[in-house]
Chains A and B, each alone.
Chain A
Amino acid sequence: METKNIMIVGVGGQGSLLASKLLGHLLLTQGYDVKVSEVHGMSQRGGSVVTYVRFGDKVYSPVIDKGEADFIVSFELLEAARWLPYLKKDGQIVTNTQQIDPMPVITGAAEYPEDLVNKLKSTGAKVDALDYLSLAEKAGSSKAVNIVLLGRLSHYFDLPKEAWMKSLEANVPSKFLEMNKKAFELGKNCEE
């Protein structure tokens, strides 16, 4: 099998680390070779963060390069736009429509581009954009947005649901398990 590439992007502190951990665990249980790559340190301080998840028969590079991502899962709309050049021609974007102003926008040095969802779609890219944050709140906590997004990703993936559930159980504290299961279902079954 050719190596598949998933990028998880967002803003430092949004919970992308748990998402990549869960995904890595899941893919390993499915018998794939897996590599997950992230950057720590300076970039976490509210900066743009990216995690690469790659799986297949044999994975070499730990990073995903421009034009290679089968999926970009984005926690924030501007970040989906930032990493768009990394999407494969037939790749799929799954993005939360939440907008978080970066410092240059806050200080007035730059503007947050308007109507980004339509602009993303008009490039010809496949874009699944929704207010996944409100689905997380519906599940019980805004912090569950990472699991809502994974639920949505599972919609595009041919993997058994039990496997997803097992990885959820292995990676989420038991007291938050029910809420996260609900978050997963809401993401998986929502209508765009």
Chain B
Amino acid sequence: MNENNGRQLMLGNKAVARGLYEAGVCFISSYPGTPSTEVTEEAAKYDEIYCEWAPNEKVAMESAFGASLAGRRSFCAQKHVGLNVAADPLYTMSYTGVNAGLVIDVSDDAGMHSSQNEQDSRHHAIAAKVPMIEPSDSKEALEYTKLAFEISEKFDTPVLLKMCTRVAHSQSVVETGERIVPDKPYEKNIAKYVMMPGNAKKRHPFVEQRTKDLIEYAENCPLNRVEIGDTKTGIITCSTSYQYVKEVFGDKVSVLKLGMTNPLPEKLIKDFASRVDKLFVVEELDPIIENHVKALGISVTGKELLPIIDEFSQNLIAEKFGIEKEKSFALEDSIPNRPPVMCAGCPHRGLFYTLKKNNCTVLGDIGCYTLGAVPPLGAIEMTLCMGASIGALHGFNKVRGAESEHKTVAVIGDSTFMHSGMTGLANVAYNQSNSTIIIVDNSITGMTGHQQNPTTGYNIKGDPAGKIDLEALCRAMGFNRVRVVDPYNLDECDKVLKEELAADAPSVIISRRPCALLKYVKHEAPLKVNKEKCVGCKSCMKIGCPAISMKNGKASIDNTLCVGCKVCSQLCPVGALES
């Protein structure tokens, strides 16, 4: 089946990737983060585009900048919190501008389906003074991506392409086109690209003028459109909120749909407001459009009606606008939650069991292992942002001294360690806190769906690549105590943990075993419960394995889930869990 041309159903993220292909993008560097990950994965399927996973978003964005400087259209993608990491280059790239077009995907996660906060990335666009465009479905995702490169080159600026979970992860119909590759020569230009104070002072007025030019563009550009229906109610909206508004009202209201949310138009909004009786703003998260409208001196209803927290839906919009919907069915029983859990055979499980058993205070990090905080393991006591476990452990130990040094640990994954754990480790080595750092090395970036990283030895296409040796790295940074354990071996984990916590020097423990879901990992036969031996003591239940449950007072193993890791059998006092 030829899916290269014509009408097809496409994931929002894949549509962005298609837009990158058609726009002639040559270079993509990203760090994975839900819901942005698939853009780069899908783009990597085009042989014409060089794609890579960078160690973090800052490096990715700087690399994309370099490629733009060299004269080729370039791109990087990250989730909302990833843009915080990359904010440093972004804010000054606003001053330098670009050579070839540079577009930056930032994916928000209203509703926090897979994130640690619910920040609104539009603030970054305003603060960095760069344009931001927001598609509301896959068709727009493809079209806007291409347009973003034109804006980038026309106005000499990086462009933020703002996605959100519902646009990134929904499929809708797109029409595809051909790839055209523009090429710009690299020209030395110190005044434009060397941002030391003397030069930056001259660039700042350029940035302010550019914003004025972009506002002018916003007044008439194809990204912002008015759909006049009944003029009693006028709604200004953007992104997925537009879809909910149309779902509820169809053509019964007038809509100003903003595809460019920074900078915002002025005349267009004033004109729209003058054509309707009552004006509303429907936008998820913060009142950015609303505040802009109010600053124009226009009376508008926004967050006093609609929530600032969580994502919207058609029912929410209907309810807030006083439209009654038919009630549905309800059960009287309470339905138990089904939270995400560590998979059966997850190598993190044995380590967290050991940490809990030793009554450790665990400062955690971002990844699958964050699930070490949920019952029954409940081992992690803090998670903040990528890499924070090590920094926080250092501060914790510095103020609490010996009372915490021998029981407090940081737990960080291999990919997260490469992302921003290394600088934290440098601080421990340099400022000498007696800290114990555990790198849980499952040889993949797990939570975002198995992306390679600098420690795995493979690149985004699965081809052999450079491989960073974690043990050698830690030793080179000044750690004399670097130990490697197999988290499936509970006795070994326990012994090494006790030794390193007791030591009067900082140490790194690498808990190493590949993710059980990796294709190359061979599974053992599922364990069997010997019902004669099982005394129903529930010792095996302490590790929270989804493959183990109690049936009629005896342990029971789901053989469709069990991968034979034998962590549970090490806990059984009577040897009832047999291979």
Q: Which residues of A contact B (CB under 8 A)?
A: 11-12, 24-25, 28, 33-48, 52, 59-63, 65-68, 78-79, 81-82, 84-89, 101-113, 116, 119-120, 123-125, 142, 170
- In the complex, the 3 A-B pairs of residues with the closest C-beta atoms, listed nearest first: A41-B114, A41-B34, A62-B170
Complex: A46 Cα to B550 Cα, angstroms: 18
Q: Which of B167, B244, B447, B548 contacts A41 (CB 8 A)?
A: B447
Whether the Cβ atoms of A24 and B336 lie closer than 8 Å is no
Q: Which residues of B contact A78 (CB under 8 A)?
A: 335-336, 338
Whether the Cβ atoms of B331 and A34 lie closer than 8 Å is no
Complex: A107 Cα to B540 Cα, angstroms: 11
Whether B240 sits at the interface, judged by CB under 8 Å, is yes
Q: Which of A36, A45, A103 contacts B9 (CB 8 A)?
A: A36
Whether the Cβ atoms of B338 and A79 lie closer than 8 Å is yes
Residue of B165, B246, B336 with most partner-chain A CB within 10 A:
B336
Whether B560 sits at the interface, judged by CB under 8 Å, is yes
Complex: A28 Cα to B174 Cα, angstroms: 11
Q: Which residues of B contact A106 (CB under 8 A)?
A: 541, 544, 546, 548-550
- With A41-B34, A43-B113 known as contacts, the answer to whether A34 contacts B1 (CB < 8 A) is no
Whether the Cβ atoms of A66 and B315 lie closer than 8 Å is yes
Q: Which of A12, A38, A46, A111 contacts B336 (CB 8 A)?
A: A111
Q: Which residues of B contact A11 (CB under 8 A)?
A: 338
Complex: A47 Cα to B171 Cα, angstroms: 22
Closest-by-CB residue of B relative to A27 is B9
Whether B371 sits at the interface, judged by CB under 8 Å, is yes
Q: Which of A25, A62, A82 contacts B172 (CB 8 A)?
A: A62
Q: Which of B246, B341, B374, B448 contacts A60 (CB 8 A)?
A: B246
Whether the Cβ atoms of B328 and A103 lie closer than 8 Å is no
Whether B89 sits at the interface, judged by CB under 8 Å, is no
Closest-by-CB residue of A relative to B558 is A100
Q: Which residues of A contact B173 (CB under 8 A)?
A: 28, 33-34
Whether the Cβ atoms of B171 and A24 lie closer than 8 Å is yes
Whether the Cβ atoms of A110 and B336 lie closer than 8 Å is yes
Q: Which residues of B contact A170 (CB under 8 A)?
A: 1
Q: How many residues of B contact A (CB 8 A)?
A: 61
Whether B137 sits at the interface, judged by CB under 8 Å, is yes
- With A47-B338, A103-B341, A103-B375 known as contacts, the answer to whether A61 contacts B541 (CB < 8 A) is no
B381 to chain A, nearest CB (A): 19
Complex: A142 Cα to B560 Cα, angstroms: 10
Q: Which residues of B contact A112 (CB under 8 A)?
A: 336
Complex: A31 Cα to B173 Cα, angstroms: 11
Q: Which residues of A contact B247 (CB under 8 A)?
A: 60-61
Closest-by-CB residue of B relative to A102 is B338
Closest-by-CB residue of B relative to A25 is B9
Q: Which residues of A contact B18 (CB under 8 A)?
A: none
Whether the Cβ atoms of B326 and A89 lie closer than 8 Å is yes
The contact sample of 11 A-B pairs, CB cut-off 8 A, is A36-B172, A40-B449, A45-B342, A61-B243, A65-B313, A66-B328, A67-B325, A67-B327, A78-B338, A85-B329, A113-B334
Whether the Cβ atoms of A47 and B335 lie closer than 8 Å is no
Complex: A63 Cα to B137 Cα, angstroms: 12
Whether B274 sits at the interface, judged by CB under 8 Å, is no
Whether the Cβ atoms of B336 and A105 lie closer than 8 Å is yes
Whether the Cβ atoms of A24 and B114 lie closer than 8 Å is no
Closest-by-CB residue of B relative to A34 is B9
Closest-by-CB residue of A relative to B246 is A60
Whether the Cβ atoms of B329 and A84 lie closer than 8 Å is yes
Whether the Cβ atoms of A61 and B544 lie closer than 8 Å is no
Which residues 324-349 in B have Cβ within 8 Å of A in the complex? 325-343
Q: Which residues of B contact A87 (CB under 8 A)?
A: 328-329
Q: Which residues of A contact B327 (CB under 8 A)?
A: 67
Which residues 280-338 in B have Cβ within 8 Å of A in the complex? 313-315, 325-338
Complex: A109 Cα to B335 Cα, angstroms: 12
Residue of B113, B244, B338, B544 with most partner-chain A CB within 10 A:
B338
Closest-by-CB residue of B relative to A107 is B376
Complex: A86 Cα to B339 Cα, angstroms: 20
Whether the Cβ atoms of B338 and A65 lie closer than 8 Å is no
Whether the Cβ atoms of B331 and A40 lie closer than 8 Å is no
Q: Which of B114, B326, B449 contacts A67 (CB 8 A)?
A: B326
Q: Return the CB mask of B152-172 against A: 1 if under 8 Å, else 0.
A: 000000000000011101111
Whether the Cβ atoms of B544 and A107 lie closer than 8 Å is yes
Whether B234 sits at the interface, judged by CB under 8 Å, is no
Whether B359 sits at the interface, judged by CB under 8 Å, is no
Whether B519 sits at the interface, judged by CB under 8 Å, is no
Q: Which residues of A contact B34 (CB under 8 A)?
A: 40-42
Complex: A84 Cα to B247 Cα, angstroms: 22
Whether the Cβ atoms of B329 and A102 lie closer than 8 Å is no
Complex: A33 Cα to B174 Cα, angstroms: 10
Whether B7 sits at the interface, judged by CB under 8 Å, is yes
Whether the Cβ atoms of A65 and B315 lie closer than 8 Å is yes
